[in-house]
A and B are shown apart, each in its own frame.
Chain A
Amino acid sequence: MAEKEPTQEMFELWRKSLEEGTQAWLKTITQTPPADVTQFWRPILEQGMEFWAKGMGQVGAPDPAQQWKRFMDLWLEAWSKALGQAMATEGFARALGRYMDQWLTAQGPWRKAAEQSSEAALKALGLPGRAQVAAMAEQLTALEERVDRLDDRLDELKQLLERLARSPADRAAVPRRTTSRKRS
């Protein structure tokens, strides 16, 4: 147990300094509403640190490299858990949605302008624009779809003919419309 003490001591020192730092930081931002920070980050950080302290207490391997890796794994795990909890709040989802809205507001006109200028440049060079290429590709997709439908119909006809050739009983099952058309 005696050899764990310096590590534990170092960890306690670090925790104390982090706590003091957080307190000082919180004091400085009390001018603006700090509700989100105290609500989300404080309990999360404490939880993360407890988890870390527990892990540090379990370190028993004499290999310093192993200890460092374990320390890093625990540190990352604690952060991952803390961030995961923060991101699972409605506050975060709302902030993300607001950020997306702002980004899209900025993107919309910019994209439109960029598209217009690139279309104009391509047109000046006598080259097809993006919209034209996309329209052509859409037409090809539509054509492919029509070919596939024809293929489906041919398959159906082929199956029908095979059934007719196989059994005379199936012939009766053929819709009358088909036979009457042939006659006319």
Chain B
Amino acid sequence: MPDTARETDAFRHLQEEWTRQILRGTRAMELILNPAEPKVGQTPRVEVYRKGKARLCRYQSSRKHPVPVLMVPNLGISRPYIFDLQPGASFIEYMTREGFDFYLLDWGVFGEEDNGLTVDDCVTRILPRVVRKVLESSGAEALSLLGYCMGGPLSACFVALHPEVPVRALVNMAGPIDFAHAGLFRLWLDKRFFNVDRMVDTLGAVPAEMVKAGFKLLKPTMDVTTALNLWWNLWNDRYVEGFKALNKWANEYVPFPGEFFRQWVKEFYQENRLVRKELRLGGRLVDLGQIRCPVLVVGAQEDYIAPAPCVRAVLDHVGSQDTRYEELPGGHISLIAGRSAALHCWPRVAGWLAPRSG
């Protein structure tokens, strides 16, 4: 490149950067002076059932597909509005636009009175009723289950224990199944180093602050990276809007019920009972081989909460003939929310479910 052209190019970059710096400063002042809460979860919904803290919400669609979809997210940790973050950036909005009658189970924010809730209760007491309410409310003869994160193994256990329930298809999105591959959490929660009984007996529940600390520790540089990226993109209004919504969610942790945490850590993380066929829920043995409906598994390449091999493992144990595995770019959250999710994950899930929802 000739020297003059290089200088002109450098000057143009400098000019652009200067304009952006001014915009960054303005937006930063706006953010500080007007820290308005972003609006989240705006897709119209109706509450169809409530049990304890759990709420079942229906998001109606044109019902192009007669089989409704029930989404079972993680329990505790975070709020489920990540699936309906903002108009144009919402998995639920996308699915309803695609013609799926969508139901979301919100496990709620737990208090001291819920400390006795267990994995057993969720799989054998709450989920069966929720599924029945979905069928009643939609008038459909069958439904599809979509488990995300911890909702993945919960849904899988439910389907395995209830072969009589008309489940048309099961989707496991970033749901850990084989805990031998569960990454850093598997190591940190190992019974040689972590005494879950002591924690639950002392605290009763796992406080939200502790849940937050645990997740932040997984990626200690995350907050600095987020702040740096915010500063870099502060001139971009769309980025800032999306950031505000995502940041609200990312900092809103909820506590874990004590007994649920005890059972989850012991039987899933420490003893890996689900894949060893040693897990008993409601007095019955959970055999993933009883799952005979079509199964789609979606793992994320950079998921450090539920690494892809840990998620994919469900396919080695189910009795289904129609199975599919998708490993998509991104992490545990960007698999389901954000631009990458809209590009990679949502169309694949909807595309796979559509022919199985007639």
What is the interface of chain A, defined by CB distance below 8 A to chain B? 62-66, 69, 72-73, 76, 79-80, 83-84, 87-88, 90, 93-94, 96-97, 100-101, 104, 107-108, 111, 130, 133-138, 141, 144-145, 148, 152, 155
User: What residues on B are CB-neighbors of A94 within 8 Å?
Assistant: 192-193
- Assess whether B193 is in contact with A134, with CB atoms less than 8 Å apart: no
- Known contacts A65-B17, A76-B225, A138-B113: does B193 contact A97 (CB below 8 Å)? yes
- Assess whether B13 is in contact with A63, with CB atoms less than 8 Å apart: yes
A112's closest neighbor in chain B, by CB? B202
- Known contacts A62-B10, A130-B112: does B188 contact A96 (CB below 8 Å)? yes
- Assess whether B193 is in contact with A93, with CB atoms less than 8 Å apart: yes
Contact code string B14-41 (vs A, CB < 8 Å = 1, else 0): 1001001000000000000000000000
- Assess whether B203 is in contact with A111, with CB atoms less than 8 Å apart: yes
- Assess whether B228 is in contact with A62, with CB atoms less than 8 Å apart: no
- Assess whether B13 is in contact with A62, with CB atoms less than 8 Å apart: yes
B1's closest neighbor in chain A, by CB? A62
Q: A80-B219, A134-B112 are in contact. List 16 more A-B contacts (CB 8 A).
A: A63-B10, A63-B17, A64-B14, A76-B225, A80-B225, A83-B221, A84-B219, A87-B184, A93-B193, A93-B194, A100-B194, A104-B202, A104-B203, A134-B113, A136-B113, A155-B132
* Closest CB in chain A relative to B127 CB, distance in Å: 13
8 sample A-B contacts, Cβ–Cβ < 8 Å, listed by A number = A63-B14, A69-B232, A73-B225, A76-B224, A93-B193, A134-B112, A145-B125, A148-B129
* Closest CB in chain A relative to B196 CB, distance in Å: 10
B52: Cβ under 8 A from any A Cβ: yes
Closest 6 A/B residue pairs (Cβ): A97-B193, A137-B113, A63-B13, A134-B112, A80-B221, A65-B17
* Closest CB in chain B relative to A138 CB, distance in Å: 5
- Assess whether A144 is in contact with B228, with CB atoms less than 8 Å apart: no
B238: Cβ under 8 A from any A Cβ: no
Contact code string B100-134 (vs A, CB < 8 Å = 1, else 0): 00000000000111101000000001000100100
User: What residues on A are CB-neighbors of B220 within 8 Å?
Assistant: 80, 83
- Assess whether B184 is in contact with A97, with CB atoms less than 8 Å apart: no
* Closest CB in chain B relative to A156 CB, distance in Å: 11
Say what secondary structure dominates the interface of chain B: helix
B64: Cβ under 8 A from any A Cβ: no
The distance in angstroms between the C-alpha atoms of A65 and B18, with both chains bound, is 10
B199: Cβ under 8 A from any A Cβ: yes
User: What residues on A are CB-neighbors of B10 within 8 Å?
Assistant: 62-63
User: What residues on B are CB-neighbors of A66 within 8 Å?
Assistant: 13
A136's closest neighbor in chain B, by CB? B113
Q: Which of B184, B195, B221 has the most CB of A within 10 A?
A: B221
A135's closest neighbor in chain B, by CB? B113
- Assess whether A111 is in contact with B202, with CB atoms less than 8 Å apart: yes
B284: Cβ under 8 A from any A Cβ: no
User: What residues on B are CB-neighbors of A148 within 8 Å?
Assistant: 51, 129
* Closest CB in chain A relative to B53 CB, distance in Å: 9
The distance in angstroms between the C-alpha atoms of A88 and B217, with both chains bound, is 11
User: What residues on A are CB-neighbors of B327 within 8 Å?
Assistant: none
The distance in angstroms between the C-alpha atoms of A5 and B25, with both chains bound, is 33
User: What residues on A are CB-neighbors of B20 within 8 Å?
Assistant: 65
User: What residues on A are CB-neighbors of B125 within 8 Å?
Assistant: 145
- Assess whether B112 is in contact with A144, with CB atoms less than 8 Å apart: no
- Assess whether A79 is in contact with B221, with CB atoms less than 8 Å apart: yes
